[in-house]
Structure 1
Amino acid sequence: MNDNPTPANKSTSPISYSDHWTKIHGPSLGQFIFKQQPDDFVVTEKLSFEPTGNGEHVFLWVEKQNLNTAFVAEHIAKFSGLPLRDVTYAGRKDKFAKTYQWFGLYMANKKEPDWKNFDLPGAQIIKATRNDRKLRTGALDGNHFKVVLRNTTSLCHEQIHARIDSIKQLGVPNYYGQQRFGNTRIDDPSALPGNLALAQKMLDGEEIRNRNKRSMAISALRSWLFNEFIDQRIRTLGYARLFEGDVMQLAGSNSFFLCESIDEKIKTRIGDKDIGVTCPLWGKGFLHSSQTIQKFENSLSKKHNQICGLLAALGLKQERRAMALFPNNMTYSLAEDSLTLSFDLPSGCFATSVLRELCTLLEDHEQ
């Protein structure tokens, strides 16, 4: 049985990808080398709770580099003698980076192995503790990023200070980053990244049998469409400009409300970054927006009607995501030939969406 809803026609609005989405902070400050070595991109996970120290679930704090999260989870499952379904994590982390994250293992009535004997090149279990509940996807406050950009000799303090100050004040468009869309082909950089290429096959009616690849393709397609909504809204209505009929999100939560009128209280909350404008994550059901914003969102959905139809047919529901992203605790240090940046982002947000507002990234690692 084919689990992929088959579109009636071939794609009339094919996916395109060239990182064409609108920037808001002006021209790039230069072309800088990114991820020359794992220590140049360090990601540290922040759970939304503290492990209790007891319970049926073992929590492992793991350092990894040049390995993807799912691969490490598979090896932890094999080492501990658990089925893969009993090894969980709150979020996937970059492969080409040094990352620190938690893995959760359901080990009720099972003997805990000696974690010192875990052997996987590129991964190290730093500590183990326990918790009374399962580690679930999304159970994060966010992630801390430390980024080193190299070949920055053309950059001066005045330039970087002004740009970072602008980012702190205005934020950046909350685009999904390139990692969501998959790797580009070295032999054909113009081709769709891997996950989007699979998504295009689904749009053309092809069945993706591998469940993990299918899930990543669907996620990439929905993310690509969200980026299109932000880009077109900036071009058409302006960056994060508030309208009656906007759906607002309470900062740091999944609470939303409809802005029916714009008063001083709303303006103050916007200025304090207590609330923010959202764009749709497409799925079945009605748009939560109204008036001008609903008309705009409906118009863009018609342009991408096949993509919207597929996402709805797959059972995804209408959701919202913040349009603007504000890095917290953002600092920088400029050396002779490198720029070091440090900042915190909410869960599900991408460091590359911040970095692209500074410069053009030249990734220097083997894929």
Structure 2
Amino acid sequence: MTELNYPAEHLSLTPLAYANGRPELMAIIRQQPADFRVEEILGFEPEGEGEHVFLWVEKTALNTQQVADALAKLANVAARQVSFSGMKDKNAITRQWFSVHLPGADNIDWQAINSPQIKLLTSTRHLRKLRRGVHRGNRFVITARNLQGATDSLTQRIAAITGTGVPNYFGEQRFGFDGANLRKAQQWFAGEFKPKRHQQGIYLSAARSWLFNQLLSQRVANQQWNKLLGGELLMLAGSHSVFPQDDDPELAQRLLDGDIHLTGPLYGKPGQGNKHCQQQVAVLEQALFDSYPQLLAGLEKAGLKAERRALRLIPENFEYQLDADVLECRFSLTSGCFATAVMRELLNYQVAGREA
């Protein structure tokens, strides 16, 4: 077993452990926006009436906030009146829903938002605003180019990915270019500066996502990310329902079948009714926490509540097409999961000169 040894307060985007070993097949992704396509799966149908205009928008090479700002300007409303469920990649072509709080008559020409980078696909109404994280998932179409190396192991790796899943890492985009969001979080917590209000959530998310990745990487390195230890907190697949490990002899088979997942910590202040891991799992997580007291103090001061996240993700409806040195992958993930977590187990890819 690999020894737990976290250098105190050293935050960096060090390589994360692979479930199936580092892939030998190399490729480049995101050469152009069309190489990374994302379509939001809302999970419910807007009702066609209500105070909130729902807009189904395709964007190219823009981040989600840029589109939200453009919609607020067009509607002549405050930015807080425009909502969306999830942040989507910038260097991509993505489709997602936005909502605009507009009670009363709607006399806005929404088609005026159309440009080379924004396309309005449809509009309707709904009784409630679109809240963060309510969408069920996302569909991805990812094109990897300039494949180098033998493709013999591709089928075997895909079978492992679709059968047993991959570590549910937060993707590199969560941490900003070259880890900038992570460094900003550390500087903020050290009292070196105070970020603007709209930046705080980004830095807080980067900090606790990094903690989660460190814990998960350690469990992957020790081959403990998909098998029961002792004192686990488990999550029912397709939900955020968490329950403690007990003596149920069927738990191991349910884990193997993908019916339940192990979880790791999204650090924050323990809330009333929070469940706690125990025994061996508690020791593993506490070893990580003890090494980063300043990081933990910053997260607690910000008022974040403790949560749990599945250690594993299993892509659905995985399909692929290999044509010479181009590989196209199609799959769906539940909300909050990163497509790059899947691709890194399949390919040793590069993005803009940076190795995954």
**TM-score, normalised by the number of residues in structure 2:** 0.92
- Where structure 1 has 5 or more consecutive residues not aligned to the other structure, the ranges are 1-10, 185-192
Distance in 1 between residues matched to 2:12 and 2:275, nearest whole Å: 25
Structure 1 position 259 matched with structure 2 position 254: no
The answer to whether the 8 A contact 1:277-1:323 is kept is yes
1:258-284 deviations in Å (ceiling 9; x for gaps): 002251x21232122111100111111
The answer to whether the 8 A contact 2:22-2:348 is kept is no
2:98 equivalent among 103, 116, 119: 103
1:199-244 deviations in Å (ceiling 9; x for gaps): 1212322232311222211110010000011112233462321023
The answer to whether the 8 A contact 2:164-2:256 is kept is no
C-alpha RMSD over aligned residues: 1.8
1:335 aligns with 323
The answer to whether the 8 A contact 2:114-2:120 is kept is no
2:35 equivalent among 19, 40, 44: 40
The answer to whether the 8 A contact 2:136-2:335 is kept is yes
Structure 1 position 352 matched with structure 2 position 340: yes
CA distance 1:27–1:21, shift in 2 (3 Å): closer
- Where structure 2 has 5 or more consecutive residues not aligned to the other structure, the ranges are 1-6
Please report how far the alpha carbon of residue 92 of structure 1 lies from its aligned counterpart in structure 2 after TM superposition.
0.5
The answer to whether the 8 A contact 2:169-2:213 is kept is yes
2:215 aligns with 229
2:266 aligns with 281
Q: Could you say what secondary structure the match of 2:177 adopts?
A: coil
1:116 aligns with 111
AA aligned to 1:281 is L
The answer to whether the 8 A contact 1:243-1:262 is kept is no
The size of the alignment, in residue pairs, is 345
CA distance 1:160–1:337, shift in 2 (3 Å): same
Structure 1 position 149 matched with structure 2 position 137: no
Distance in 1 between residues matched to 2:287 and 2:99, nearest whole Å: 43
1:80-124 deviations in Å (ceiling 9; x for gaps): 111111110000100000000000011102433122222444111
86-95 vs 116-125, greater mean Cα deviation = 116-125
1:21 aligns with 16
Please report how far the alpha carbon of residue 326 of structure 1 lies from its aligned counterpart in structure 2 after TM superposition.
0.6
Q: Could you say what secondary structure the match of 1:242 adopts?
A: coil
Distance in 1 between residues matched to 2:248 and 2:221, nearest whole Å: 22
The answer to whether the 8 A contact 2:61-2:92 is kept is yes
Distance in 1 between residues matched to 2:301 and 2:79, nearest whole Å: 29
Please report how far the alpha carbon of residue 287 of structure 1 lies from its aligned counterpart in structure 2 after TM superposition.
6.4
**TM-score, normalised by the number of residues in structure 1:** 0.90
2:297 aligns with 309
CA distance 1:12–1:166, shift in 2 (3 Å): closer
Distance in 2 between residues matched to 1:323 and 1:211, nearest whole Å: 30
1:8-27 deviations in Å (ceiling 9; x for gaps): xxx94221113x11001123
The answer to whether the 8 A contact 1:153-1:336 is kept is no
Structure 1 position 131 matched with structure 2 position 117: no
Please report how far the alpha carbon of residue 33 of structure 1 lies from its aligned counterpart in structure 2 after TM superposition.
1.2
The answer to whether the 8 A contact 1:282-1:318 is kept is yes
1:189 aligns with none
Please report how far the alpha carbon of residue 152 of structure 1 lies from its aligned counterpart in structure 2 after TM superposition.
1.5
Structure 1 position 323 matched with structure 2 position 318: no
Distance in 2 between residues matched to 1:210 and 1:118, nearest whole Å: 28
1:3 aligns with none
